[in-house]
Chains A and B, each alone.
Chain A
């Protein structure tokens, strides 16, 4: 792929926008479809593969407006239907086309409080952009209107111009809501419950806020500054944060209600213990879960080798097992930490990879090598118990399995050796065991995920749950969707109680 510099893209956009400015509202769909899709400006691949700065730099105003003009303003809004939080996408995009950025921001904020994050990490190609009429007409989902990039553009514009609106908070109700975990689900619940006037406390086990947004997603994809800004908004709304507080251990979950007087709890403790392959050699030195590798690099700042006290493994040849976003993050982080060769080993093909397309494209630009239709058979150690190689097997695609993806079938006698000193396992997570261990009356399924009803309520009165602790490993936006639903249930429950209390007093 040819890398275009941000300057080239800006120049080009400035040149072509002139052609469309007079007829923003008058173009026929045929004309709009011909407007060139705008490429996301990005840092030079060679430069960025040794820094942690954000890779995608964001549209310029001209680029954003041109991209927005590509939207056909469909009557049947498939994009909105495919958005887990139902942002009114055509409406905010129309505002961008007309350079009404403040109005665009207001439209997004009706449905999502965290657009700077969603615009960066949502898998748009399988959600809002998957059924976009423009993409359909051009027979290429990659040519759909770049909704995610436009969402990000607006969020960044808001931040840059200092126009972040603090949502209105209703008068205090005297009701207290406890939120366990400051990840995406918890942040959404906090915002939604606080808006109704309830006192909200977020309990976080780590010393920093944001959950997976901070420890999992690297800064080259989601800078810490963005997370901090979103959290500042919540603080300005009056949300209280308690870090270094492990609910379940520092305080029993039910004690928050019984001893501390909370009226409702939302459990959003997120992903849990990493899964391993169950193959020989996985306990050798040099084998890491992606969770551990990324937590060291991101949260503990081990990337900053001169300052950080948390060490990170020095690697030359790294194999990453898995094909999701976490695998991409780990592979690209390993490269940035100085590894010479990084191989992503995935047992299916590129089409089946669950990672965002943009991340895969960025990884390729950065020199990550992809070994499709291959998988680890065993990891081989040296005399000191350190990884020295990995034996792999080749696969071919067979019949579709339950997930609808074609099942990879091993090719007999296809073993070969990959020369690696580090193996990072990124094949998913189980559930976090802390809450279920310390709250025996909580109903969980056989994988340890909390069982909830359609209102996100758990088996315990007043306790709700959502995000990865319910879904298993999912996405940021799905966690936010669950948070939204849980907050609505909590708000409804508390409103009914307040009504009842009023009735008694009267």
Chain B
């Protein structure tokens, strides 16, 4: 059980919650995630990266986007409510050291897991270049937080409604073309964005780390649902990851596996929405 201490809406579909989870707050490190379930009998397990934590308050922060029935229901919970299952911290922590210049690229909701990593990299003495992007202005999150830790900060939107009108790969390419190449790139966001960031840096030979959010059930190394092809090997995101060398990840296969249940999930989501609408109409 984890009580919701704070709930904030960051944009139309994006929510931030601070949860009471003292043990997780104490153990977690940048790069790790939790799994939560909003119903112990019938709920599904949702993996979410830990965006921040406070040992003093015994809290962890999660940021999530409403993408289906379960995340919609989660967004309808309120401060004071209890989430029955919150388990973690899971996955391997990000390896942090002084690499030199590190480019942190965040797309959409991916800025949430990127934030603690960028923070830790900055603290370790790296020169941090941050590029964040989203489809439009409404979907930009954590702008101030990211700006405050960045040595260089670039913001772009696909439609040009805010910042530079570009995909994140454009400024990323420019940074790679500088006289001194960055030592490392960390890209977190939708799979397609991580794929193209990896493709962008590949010709420059800049090591690019991505954080994968695959389908997952137990998240503790038992079910194998989260497997991805990395180079010639099969890796498990929950225990071998979530971070991998983007130049080795088979993104196309990962994206097709992410869509395994798309049809069933869409039906569940629209079914649930219809009921919601009916209920609300009834109330009116």
Contacts and interface: CB of A to CB of B under 8 A. Distances in A.
A307 B221 contact: no
8 contacts: A205-B220, A207-B84, A250-B87, A283-B234, A286-B260, A311-B261, A433-B221, A433-B239
Interface of A: 205-208, 215, 243-246, 249-252, 270-274, 276, 282-283, 285-286, 288-289, 291-292, 295-296, 300-301, 304, 307-311, 313-314, 384-386, 432-434, 437
B171 interface: no
Contacts of B69: 309
B57 interface: no
Nearest to A252: B27
A273 B236 contact: yes
Interface string B184-223: 0000000000000000000000000000000001101111
Given A273-B222, A295-B217, A250 B23 contact: yes
Contacts, number: 125
B45 interface: yes
Contact of B256 (A285, A309, A437): A285
Given A276-B234, A437-B239, A246 B220 contact: yes
Given A292-B225, A313-B261, 13 more contacts: A249-B88, A249-B220, A250-B27, A271-B222, A285-B256, A285-B257, A286-B260, A289-B225, A292-B217, A304-B42, A385-B253, A432-B222, A433-B221
Contact of B43 (A245, A271, A272, A309): A309
B27 A314 contact: no
B79 interface: no
B41 interface: yes
Interface string B241-259: 0000000001011001101
A292 B268 contact: no
Contacts of A274: 222-224
Nearest to B216: A292
Contacts of B23: 245, 250-251
A222 B254 CA distance: 35
Interface residues of B, number: 46
B239 A434 contact: yes
A289 B253 CA distance: 17
> Interface SS of chain A: helix, strand, loop or mixed?
loop
Given A246-B88, A291-B223, A310-B45, A205 B218 contact: yes
Contacts of B228: 283
A283 B70 contact: no
Given A207-B85, A285-B257, A285-B260, A291 B227 contact: no
A342 B262 CA distance: 24
B40 interface: yes
A292 B224 contact: yes
Contact of B222 (A252, A283, A295, A310): A295
B265 interface: yes
B265 A432 contact: no
Contacts of A251: 23, 27
A304 B41 CA distance: 11
A310 B250 CA distance: 25
A245 B87 contact: yes
A207 B220 CA distance: 13
A309 B261 CA distance: 11
Given A292-B224, A300-B45, A385-B256, A311 B89 contact: no
Contacts of A433: 221, 239
Contact of A250 (B85, B88, B236, B252): B88
A272 B222 CA distance: 5
